[in-house]
């Protein structure tokens, strides 16, 4: 199955470059349709550039705090000089929604650039 997701320029470039391998999302109805082996086309919100990735694994957690404990900061999209903070995800998804749906770390591998 093919899925489409839009990304801000910075995480888009990190996935494109192969360093960000975990895309973090709310595990809502839309993301529950994703399966290992599926294709996700990410679109840069500013340039509309697209990259295709293959879903390697789904990592499901009750909240981003738990998800962050299991991955290194580079794979989550942080730079070497940054300190990862799970609360960064609260900008996108409220704690209430995290509690209701849980969260997913979608492990991806780029298949074209």
pTM of the predicted protein model: 0.94
pLDDT band at 113 (very low <50, low <70, confident <90, very high): low
**3-56 confidence digits (pLDDT tens):** 999 999 999 999 999 999 999 999 999 999 999 999 999 999 999 999 999 999
Q: Which CATH class is domain 2-110?
A: mainly beta
**Domain boundary assignment for the chain:** 2-110
Mean pLDDT of 76-86: 94
Phi and psi of 7, rounded to 5°?
Answer: -135, 150
Question: Is-contact 95 47, C-beta < 8 A?
Answer: no
């Amino acid at each position: 199955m093919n899925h489409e997701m839009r990304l801000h320029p910075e995480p888009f470039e990190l996935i494109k470059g192969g360093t960000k391998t975990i895309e973090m999302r709310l595990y809502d109805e839309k993301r529950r349709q994703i399966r290992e082996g599926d294709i996700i086309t990410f679109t840069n919100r500013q340039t509309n550039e697209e990259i295709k990735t293959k879903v390697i694994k789904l990592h499901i957690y009750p909240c981003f705090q738990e998800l962050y404990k299991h991955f290194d900061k580079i794979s989550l999209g942080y730079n070497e000089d940054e300190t990862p903070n799970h609360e960064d995800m609260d900008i996108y998804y409220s704690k209430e929604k995290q509690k209701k749906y849980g969260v997913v770390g979608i492990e991806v591998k780029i298949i074209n650039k």
